[in-house]
Amino acid sequence: MVNVPSLLEINTDLARKILTSFLREEITRTGMARGVVGLSGGVDSALACFLAVEALGPANVLAVRMPYKQSSPDSLRHAEQVIQATGVKSLTIDITPMVEPLFSQIPSIDARRKGNVMARERMIILYDQSAEFGALVIGTGNKTEIMLGYTTLYGDSACALNPLGDLYKTQVRQLSRAMGVPEAIVAKAPTADLWSGQTDEGELGFTYEDVDRLLYLLVDERYSPEECVQAGFKKAFVERVVEIVRRNQFKRVLPPIAKLSHRTVGYDFLYLRDWGT
Amino acid sequence: MIQNMMLRIALAQISTKLGDVPANLEKHLAYIRRARKAGARLVVFPELSLTGYALQDLASTVACRPVEDDPVFRPLLKASLVIDIAVGFVEEDVRNRFYISSAYLSRGEVVHVHRKVYLPTYGMFDEGRFFALGDRVQAFDTSFGRIGMLICEDFWHASPPYLLWLDGADLFLFMSSSPGRGLRTHPELDSARWVERVNRGYANLFTSFVVHTNKVGFEDGLNFWGGAMVFDPNGRQIAKGPNHEEALILAELDLNQLHRTRARLPLLRDERTALTQRELQRILAESSHTTNLR
**Boundaries of every domain in chain B:** 6-266
Catalytic (active site) residue A121: no
∠A147-A151-A153 over CA atoms, to 5°? 105
Q: Residue A208: which of A228, A177, A186 has the closest Cα?
A: A186
Of chain B residues 149-188, which have a CB less than 8 A from chain A?
Answer: 180, 183-188
What pLDDT band is residue B230 in, cutting at 50, 70 and 90?
very high
Contact between B196 and B229 under an 8 Å Cβ cutoff? The reply is yes
pLDDT at A195: 78
Is A14 within 8 Å of B223 when comparing Cβ atoms? no
Q: Which among A7, A161, A274 has CB closest to B219?
A: A274
Nearest CA distance, B192 vs chain A (angstrom): 12
Chain A CB contacts of B180 under 8 Å are: 18
ipTM (interface predicted TM): 0.93
pLDDT at A1: 60
Contact between A28 and B217 under an 8 Å Cβ cutoff? The reply is no
pTM (predicted TM-score): 0.95
Interchain CB contact of A128 with B (< 8 Å): no
| CATH topology classification for B6-266 | Nitrilase/N-carbamoyl-D-aminoacid amidohydrolase (3.60.110)
Q: Does A225 map to a domain?
A: yes
Is A14 within 8 Å of B189 when comparing Cβ atoms? yes
Is B221 within 8 Å of A9 when comparing Cβ atoms? no
| Percentage above 70 pLDDT, chain B | 96
Interchain CB contact of B226 with A (< 8 Å): no
Q: Which among B17, B54, B186 has CB closest to A11?
A: B186
Residues A99-120, mean pLDDT to the nearest whole number: 96
Domains: count for chain A: 1
pLDDT at A197: 83
Nearest CA distance, A194 vs chain B (angstrom): 31
pLDDT at A7: 85
Q: What is the Rg, in whole angstroms, of the alpha carbon atoms belonging to chain B?
A: 18
Tens digit of each residue's pLDDT (9 = 90 or more) over B57-86: 999 999 999 999 999 999 999 999 999 999
Question: What CATH number should be reported for the domain holding residue A46?
Answer: 3.40.50.620
Q: Does A264 map to a domain?
A: no
Tens digit of each residue's pLDDT (9 = 90 or more) over A128-186: 999 999 999 999 999 999 999 999 999 999 999 999 999 999 999 999 999 999 999 99
Q: Does A47 map to a domain?
A: yes
Phi, psi torsion values for A253, nearest 5 degrees: -130, 160
pLDDT at A5: 66
What pLDDT band is residue A196 in, cutting at 50, 70 and 90?
confident
Angle between helices A12-28 and A43-56 (to 10 degrees): 60
Q: Residue B136: which of B120, B115, B121 has the closest Cα?
A: B115
Question: In terms of residues, how long is chain A?
Answer: 277
Contact between A50 and A86 under an 8 Å Cβ cutoff? The reply is yes
Q: Which among B20, B57, B223 has CB closest to A270?
A: B57
Q: Does A54 map to a domain?
A: yes
pLDDT at B2: 46
Chain A CB contacts of B220 under 8 Å are: 26, 272-274
Is A276 within 8 Å of B17 when comparing Cβ atoms? yes
Strand, coil or helix: B31: helix
Is A18 within 8 Å of B219 when comparing Cβ atoms? no
What is the rounded CA–CA span in Å between residue B27 and residue B171?
A: 26
Q: Residue A51: which of A190, A176, A183, A158 has the closest Cα?
A: A176
Domain span including residue A72: 4-252
Chain A CB contacts of B189 under 8 Å are: 14
Nearest CA distance, A178 vs chain B (angstrom): 13
Catalytic (active site) residue A44: yes
Residues A66-93, mean pLDDT to the nearest whole number: 97
Strands B209-214 and B229-231: antiparallel
Q: Does A277 map to a domain?
A: no
